[in-house]
Structure 1
Amino acid sequence: MISNTYIILLNHHGISDTAECIQSLLTLSSDNYRIVVVDNSQSEEEWNRLLDFARSQSLNYISFNQGNDRNYQQQIVVFIKALENKGFAHGNNLGLKFAMSQKDAGYFWLLNNDTVVRPDSLTELVKYHSKHPETILGSKLLYYHCPDKIQAVGGSFNKNLYICTHIGEGLLKDTPKEHLKKIDYPLGASMFVSRDFIDHVGFLSEDFFLYYEELDWCERGIDEKFVPDWCETSIVYHKEGKSIGSSYKNEKSFFSEMQLFKSRKKFIKKYYSLDFKFYFSSLLLIANRIRKGRFKLALEWIKITFNDVK
């Protein structure tokens, strides 16, 4: 049986981006893929707009509400309506669990809906992974609005300050891989894993509503001898921030900043400890928000730092 890649997209009030992403995926040079779109929007109107788009494109698709899935190997695109929005990890897990139930699924590509892919981006991921089966892979992410520059090739986690940074951010797109440091995790905008990875590591942790779920996945993967890496020839263009309520060249939205700080604390508590480094670095981050005049956010971050987080 041919091993297909199941591409998981999460839609949350982003129909125009989702539509553009799907259209780019339909130009992939590989035929061995299926697209699974999970709609996290709490709106029947958004769901109907997704299906209207599918009909307008004459897509070979099927749609159903969460929990009513069956075996749909003949459809190129599957739309799943989530019963409620429980975050990035939960939404992607709905798609992953459906995909894992399909006998032809060998790979899984988690892709932000605010991305556009090159036709060979999937082929390059599969090719690289076949040579390095122990990896959890990312792509080279380029700015959609500035495609000659890298948004990131992955992330780095500073264990002294407990802060994440993007590797390669702002560099020219042709910067050689050997000139960049190794990544600690691929960005959630493009993550590629095998069935073997999920069999050993499991699904994304739903303890994280937004942010740090990919870093948590990699930490658990490392425990199972998997290695974070990225494929230099898999190119994805990312409209950074649109899927979480932020926008290109603008501050993150208040909501996403709140989730970032909550998830950071949960991650540090899980893998390290809420020690002096945590409180010191948290206060530095809070001071930076005060410097930018974001006083309401700084106050909420203080509450998160010194109180329990659910």
Structure 2
Amino acid sequence: MTLDCAIPGMSGSDKSDIGVWIVVLNWKNGPDTLECLESIISSNDPCVAGVVVCDNASGDGSDVLIRNWFSNSGFCFSEAKWSDGEFLSVGAGNCEATDSSIEFALVHTGANLGFAGGNNVGIRYVQHSKAFDYLFLLNNDALLAPGAVSGMVGRFAEGEQTGMCGCTVIYHHTPSQVQAYGGASFAPWLGRAVHIGAHLPVSAPRDAAGVEARLDYILGAALMISRPCLEQIGLMEESYFLYFEEVDWATRAARAGFSFGYAPDAVVYHKEGGTIGSSSKKGARSLLSEHYLVRSRLRFTQKFYPWHLPGVIVFTIVQGARAVVGGDVSRFLVRMRAMFGLPFKA
């Protein structure tokens, strides 16, 4: 496939060689996934080579909904199932000639593998069968604005050591407000992250260099990674199931010598936490989401910053005590169970 991916600063011979594959993970949220796909098509970005949608064994008919959307829209698509470490073709798909230069694939992961596990299946699929320069993980509850993919690719072109790149993520429900400039700063002594630019007005000036100086990881809702970075650090860590996967990935990238980029004019609108209630607002997070947040925070700290583990435990206990003071005893109990490695119980 030849793409007309015109990036400033690249020579003419390089422009047509750029290929970005987008990985979208679905779990029990077919309508949002279709809206995400519509936004990718509407963006008409020449750098997008393909999109792979991974269904994490939703069991609610999401896969049928997505398959029908591909068929009814007339796009060329293939369908496969991940089973015992290999991809098995499912049916013939549909590859009639269309005006779209984008390839599509629907991949059944076979189980609810979590955020990292589900996305890793999509990454493996692209690595196994497609040519690509960059992979873009895009949440299924996110909408792509025109020029976002090209803008992020352009940022990679500015620095050879850039391994991951983020964009301006805006709250879908309040489009005048920023969720994050690319990603977050992370305090390992607390195991706590703060989104850069959170809640600033969209009209506020964006200092890309200033943001990059503070970036410790890229927001997983819209994360682009270069092929050299991916090949050196490998796939995302799947043991977390939810939360801290992108922090783990970024920490490994930074320790391997890669830097993080921010494309300020590349925009994604994020509905945030549409699948299991994983909102950044404390009171809005589901108890299940709370369980995984505490569990993953402790696992990450033990892996990368074991000397900070006592402080992180104290911080977790203090957060639990605040929940009790606020009258949310259930949240306190969920946090304590997670801290002691006990299974989730509402």
TM-score computed with the length of structure 2 as normaliser:
0.83
Task: Check 1:303–1:53 CA distance in 2 against 1; reply closer, same or farther (3 A cut).
Answer: same
Tell whether 2:297 aligns with 1:270: no
Is contact 1:3-1:104 (8 Å) kept? Answer: no
1:106 paired to 2:133: yes
Give the 3-state SS of the residue equivalent to 2:201 in structure 1: coil
Indicate conservation of the 8 Å contact 2:298/2:309, yes or no: no
- Contact map agreement 2:143 2:268 (CA 8 A) in 1: yes
Work out which of the residue numbers 218, 221, 224 in structure 2 matches 1:189.
Answer: 221
Distance 1:103 1:246, change over 3 A: closer
- Aligned mate of 1:55, from 64, 71, 95: 71
Q: What SS is found at the alignment partner of 1:296?
A: helix
Tell me if 1:225 matches 2:257: yes
1:65: how far off?
A: 1.6
Q: SS at 2:110's partner residue? A: coil
TM-score, length-scaled by structure 1: 0.92
- Alpha carbons of structure 1 residues 223 and 51: separation in structure 2 relative to 1, 3 Å: same
Which whole-Å CA distance do the structure 2 matches of 1:228 and 1:69 have between them?
Answer: 36
The structure having more radius of gyration, on CA atoms, is: 2
* One of 137, 142, 158 as aligned partner of 2:170: 142
Aligned residues: 309
Matched, 1:152 2:180: yes
Q: How many Å apart are 1:103 and its aligned residue?
A: 4.4
The reply to whether residue 261 of structure 1 matches residue 294 of structure 2 is: yes
Is 1:68 equivalent to 2:88 in the alignment?
A: yes
Unaligned runs of 5+ in 1: none
CA contact 1:62–1:75 (8 Å) conserved in 2: no
Q: Secondary structure at the match of 2:275?
A: helix
Alignment gaps of 5+ in structure 2: 3-16, 96-100
Q: Which residue number corresponds to residue 160 of structure 2?
A: 133
In structure 1, how many angstroms separate the alpha carbons of the residues matched to 2:315 and 2:200? 27
Q: What one-letter code is carried by the residue in structure 1 that aligns with 2:185? A: S
Q: Which residue identity lines up with residue 233 of structure 2 in the other structure?
A: V
% identity of equivalent residues:
28
The verdict on how the C-alpha distance between 1:309 and 1:221 changes in structure 2, with shifts beyond 3 A counting, is: farther
- CA change 1:292–1:54 in 2 (3 A) is farther
C-alpha deviation, 1:289, in angstroms: 2.3
2: distance between equivalents of 1:272 and 1:193? 24
1:228 aligns to what SS in structure 2? strand
Matched position secondary structure for 2:151: helix
| Paired residue type of 1:116 | L
User: CA offsets, 1:219-269, max 9 Å, x none?
Assistant: 100111111232101100000111333569761111111111111010011
For residue 131 of structure 1, report the CA deviation from its aligned partner. Answer: 1.1
Are the equivalent residues in 2 in contact too, given 1:258–1:301 (CA < 8 A)? Answer: yes
How far apart in 2 are the matches of 1:86 and 1:149?
Answer: 32
- The within-5 A match list for 1:1-310 is 2-32=17-47, 33-43=49-59, 45-66=61-82, 67-68=87-88, 76-135=103-162, 136-153=164-181, 154-178=183-207, 180=211, 182-246=214-278, 251-273=284-306, 275-307=309-341
Separation (CA, whole Å) in 1 of partners of 2:172 and 2:152? 20
Structure 2: how far apart are the matches of 1:195 and 1:186? 16
Calculate the aligned-residue CA RMSD, in Å.
Answer: 2.4
SS where residue 176 of structure 2 aligns? coil
Distance 1:131 1:44, change over 3 A: same
Structure-1 separation of matches of 2:247 and 2:335: 21
Shift of 1:44: 6.2
For structure 1, which segment, 295-304 or 257-266, has the greater mean C-alpha deviation from structure 2 after superposition? 295-304
Q: Distance in 2 between matches of 1:50 and 1:109?
A: 19
Greater alpha carbon shift after TM alignment, 16-25 vs 275-284: 275-284
2:57–2:110 CA contact under 8 A, matched in 1 = no
Amino acid at match of 1:240: E
Which residue identity is paired with 2:245?
Answer: E
CA contact (8 A) 2:301 2:309 kept: no
User: Which has the higher mean CA deviation after the structures are superposed, 250-259 or 147-156?
Assistant: 250-259
Distance in structure 2 (CA, Å) of the matches to 1:88 and 1:207: 10
